[in-house]
Structure 1
Amino acid sequence: MSHVCHLFVAVPSHCSDAVCEYLHALSRLGHGIKKMMIAQTSRPVSGPPARPTRVWSSIESTDWWERVVMREFQPSDWLEKFRMTKETFFLLCGKLKPRLSRQDTRLRPALPLEKRVAVALWRLASNVEYRTISALFGVGRSTVCKCVRDVCHAIVLLLRPLYLRPPSEQELEDAARLFSTRWGFPHCVGALASLHVPIIAPSSNTHSYWNSRGWLSVVTQGAVNGLGQFWDVCAGFPGSTEHSAILQNSTLWARGCDGFLLHEPPLDFMGRPLGFLMLGDAGYPLKSWLLKSFPESGALSDAQRVFNRRLERARSVADEAFLRLRARWQCLLKRNDCRMDVVPTMILACCVLHNVCEVHGDEFEERWEEAVRTEESPQPADEVSPAADDRDGEEVRALFCEYFLQQETQQRTLAC
């Protein structure tokens, strides 16, 4: 490092042994860049203060990975810094090996696959600057950038077909059963929601990236099952794009219109054959396979109010999934300064990683959500779709109004 200053680094009493040792070493080195790393390496944990630890007399930058992470990181450290368990991390590395493995050259040894994945996950989880990660892992800034790009591409290429794909016919039936029992909405197999990711100003067509909240973003559409896992994601649209336009330019729209959600033989609902369907917000068009709530601006009947309440309850699983996604992978929460051609792939990779963590049961820390609640760029509000509602969609929605009202009437009768 060319910029050197003499610092006193206060070591928090609540940090883990591995982190405390590293902070002691940083105080001896006195590199100015290490100031920014303290926030990334000190972590509040419950329990008594850590015992006094020995001080490393010297430390090479590569030691952070080779000695601290690989040898001394505790399970809580892996979860905090990489957002997954050590076991899931190495499972991920194994699945990415066909795409990311490199051979040593005569000039230099190849960067270990595990270290490349760790560099990328650190960036996705924290969104800290490349120079901070560069100093932390002892690699060049251009190497950090390449690791992030290569790992995200590999995740999308190799893991998306395994962890984020359209459900099979049996999986659709299972999803409908789950939405009915857990969320009280029969025939539903997925909920739609959107996410705006802050970006720096693109080099062209900047005006189309300003969203309704007045900040630059790219918007992503996601379909979520009853477990809060994504099964369809369409990423990278300019922030001003309407929800209906995103949907109509997605493969999900093509599948829906081509009968992907139909069931053979047709299922009976209120005396009428009905396939599977999805739930969306006010920004989506009403279809026989995509329902949305009634506008609150008008005078609603009891049946319509009940329908709105039941739909929003079931659709909340998608909002919760996007909340957990941003809390776990905070490159989607803070302004992303990557090139525009990388951002959509990064978003897709984070959605895949979300599913990986959920499928393998990796713990989600509720305190991560605090960063989402205090974000500087609140998500734009849902806007009413300009697309015309479908008559078949209105008929299906009316059936559900009748169904839910009957249910509530029966429940009130039993309560009396």
Structure 2
Amino acid sequence: MACSRRTKLLLLLWLRRRIRRRNTRRFWVHPIQQERDSLGEFHHLYPQLIKDSEKFIKHFRMQKSSFSELQDICQDDLLKENTNYRKAISPIERLTVTLRFLATGESFQSLAFRFRLGHETVRRIVKETVQVLWRKLQPQDMPVPDKHSWEQIANGFQERWQFPLCAGAIDGKHVQLKAPVDSGSQYFNYKGHYSIVLMAICDAKSKFIVIDVGAYGSSSDGGIFQDSNFFQRLREKTLHLPDPIQIPNTNTIAPYVFVGDEAFPLLENLMRPFPRKELSDEKRIFNYRLSRARKQIECAFGVLSSMWRILRKPIEVQVDFATDIVKATCVLHNYIQNREPDRIKEMGNFEDDTNSTFTPTPARPGRRHTGDGKAVRNLLMKYFTSPTGSVHWQTNVLI
């Protein structure tokens, strides 16, 4: 009994000391952070950057006009009130910290020293700002497609890549994470790392139409696709795809389709290549034409990771936070392309970083196929090898 009472008294004393220690602060604002307005990176570098357009783009990944518009869009959601003890961090500085985190992949600690902010302050700023970016930009820069949108996308693939009735190119990428808490093997991918998967569909100019972020890294492209909300809507025919129409300059009726690699199932509205074994000339030409259209999603991913290098190294946050980061980079990709299309063209020959952690999902052949899918693929194959649908350079693939 006495021992129990003594234990309780010792525990009470320990708790009192811990509370007292927690409430005893060395500084309300650290001296280093007190000089943020004069020595922090934002306050001494930003005024110089706005005088140099080229360096501004390298720093923020966008032109000054795009940055100013982005600031206006996010201003109200990023605005904080001053307190009696400290001055609030302005919306423009919050946006700057977040863009530098996304552009460089620097740690929160490194950015904290650069901007003369607290480590947890930087983490909180980034977490709040990436959510604001998605919430404010998605409705205008990655809107949910409707029938007219799908028609415009298909026109783009026909004009630029000579693939008719193509509503988008689909693929997936692993985004490497620091091992998530209590994740088990769900996020452990085929390369021996923890990751979440970005599944995306893009248009003929490599702009994202639909993204699905957060699937377990242990899954394959096809498995992630079939578990996605997009696939459910495709199967239930609630995507608002236009009705089947004639393939251009023919009397052949065909549905709108998406194009993917061999990891995806062959469906009425989803085309994949013919298996590589014993390919006829017609099948090789079909695979070539499909590959030209499908490469737009590879280009989109390449530009995305070149611009936002946070995707090229393990992200040291938990899954929900990492998901918000990836969504923000994708919607910023579209935001910039909508305002600066020439800059995306300039990045078309992106640098392929072999050490990047932004890696393809494994191409495990999808086993599922339908009779309708086979029939549509054969229709397109015949079109591509006909005088009406062929292009003069496609026979080079046969050499």
TM class, shorter-length: 0.7 to 0.9
Q: In structure 2, what is the equivalent of residue 361 of structure 1?
A: 340
Q: In structure 2, what is the equivalent of residue 182 of structure 1?
A: 160
Query: Is 1:202–2:180 an aligned residue pair?
Result: yes
Quote the Cα distance in structure 1 between the aligned partners of 2:92 and 2:266. Answer: 46
Deviations along 1:301-337, one digit per CA (max 9) or x if unpaired, are 1111110000001110110000000000011111111
Q: From the superposition, tell whether residues 409 and 189 of structure 1 become closer, same or farther in structure 2 (CA, over 3 Å).
A: closer
Q: In structure 2, what is the equivalent of residue 343 of structure 1?
A: 322
Decide which of 64, 76, 80 is 1:98's aligned counterpart.
76
Q: How does 1:19-30 map to 2 (within 5 A)?
A: none
Query: Is 1:161–2:153 an aligned residue pair?
Result: no
Q: From the superposition, tell whether residues 320 and 380 of structure 1 become closer, same or farther in structure 2 (CA, over 3 Å).
A: closer
* Structure 2 unpaired stretches of 5+: 1-31
Q: From the superposition, tell whether residues 366 and 178 of structure 1 become closer, same or farther in structure 2 (CA, over 3 Å).
A: closer
Tell me the amino acid that sits aligned with residue 357 of structure 1. Answer: I
Decide which of 43, 48, 52 is 1:66's aligned counterpart.
43
Q: From the superposition, tell whether residues 68 and 248 of structure 1 become closer, same or farther in structure 2 (CA, over 3 Å).
A: same
Q: In structure 2, what is the equivalent of residue 43 of structure 1?
A: none
Kindly state the Cα deviation for residue 136 of structure 1 after the two structures are TM-superposed: 1.2
Q: Identity over the aligned pairs, expressed in percent?
A: 27
Quote the Cα distance in structure 1 between the aligned partners of 2:136 and 2:390. Answer: 50
SS of 1:223's equivalent in the other structure is strand
Quote the Cα distance in structure 1 between the aligned partners of 2:361 and 2:222. Answer: 14
Quote the Cα distance in structure 2 between the aligned partners of 1:69 and 1:150. Answer: 22
SS of 1:406's equivalent in the other structure is coil
Decide which of 250, 255, 264 is 1:284's aligned counterpart.
264
* Structure 1 unpaired stretches of 5+: 1-32, 34-57
SS of 1:111's equivalent in the other structure is coil
Decide which of 264, 282, 303 is 1:303's aligned counterpart.
282
Tell me the amino acid that sits aligned with residue 385 of structure 2. Answer: L
Query: Is 1:225–2:203 an aligned residue pair?
Result: yes
Q: In structure 1, what is the equivalent of residue 301 of structure 2?
A: 322
Contact 2:174 2:361 in 1 (8 A): no
Alignment size in residue pairs: 355
Quote the Cα distance in structure 1 between the aligned partners of 2:386 and 2:392. Answer: 10
TM-score if structure 1 supplies the norm length?
Answer: 0.79
Query: Is 1:83–2:44 an aligned residue pair?
Result: no
Deviations along 1:135-193, one digit per CA (max 9) or x if unpaired, are 11121111110111001111111211111123232222121111011101000020001
Kindly state the Cα deviation for residue 411 of structure 1 after the two structures are TM-superposed: 5.7
Query: Is 1:256–2:234 an aligned residue pair?
Result: yes
Quote the Cα distance in structure 2 between the aligned partners of 1:168 and 1:381. Answer: 28
Contact 1:90 1:114 in 2 (8 A): no
Quote the Cα distance in structure 2 between the aligned partners of 1:349 and 1:328. Answer: 12
SS of 2:296's equivalent in the other structure is helix
Q: How does 1:395-406 map to 2 (within 5 A)?
A: 395-406=375-386
Quote the Cα distance in structure 1 between the aligned partners of 2:325 and 2:360. Answer: 21
Query: Is 1:112–2:90 an aligned residue pair?
Result: yes
Kindly state the Cα deviation for residue 245 of structure 1 after the two structures are TM-superposed: 2.2
SS of 1:401's equivalent in the other structure is helix
Q: From the superposition, tell whether residues 261 and 313 of structure 1 become closer, same or farther in structure 2 (CA, over 3 Å).
A: farther
Kindly state the Cα deviation for residue 379 of structure 1 after the two structures are TM-superposed: 2.3
Quote the Cα distance in structure 2 between the aligned partners of 1:188 and 1:319. Answer: 16
Contact 2:174 2:195 in 1 (8 A): yes
Q: From the superposition, tell whether residues 235 and 343 of structure 1 become closer, same or farther in structure 2 (CA, over 3 Å).
A: same
Q: In structure 1, what is the equivalent of residue 149 of structure 2?
A: 171
Quote the Cα distance in structure 2 between the aligned partners of 1:80 and 1:323. Answer: 17
Kindly state the Cα deviation for residue 346 of structure 1 after the two structures are TM-superposed: 0.5
Tell me the amino acid that sits aligned with residue 317 of structure 2. Answer: C
Query: Is 1:140–2:131 an aligned residue pair?
Result: no
Tell me which moved more, 137-146 or 67-76: 67-76
Quote the Cα distance in structure 1 between the aligned partners of 2:147 and 2:388. Answer: 31
Kindly state the Cα deviation for residue 377 of structure 1 after the two structures are TM-superposed: 4.0
Quote the Cα distance in structure 2 between the aligned partners of 1:117 and 1:327. Answer: 20
Kindly state the Cα deviation for residue 203 of structure 1 after the two structures are TM-superposed: 1.7
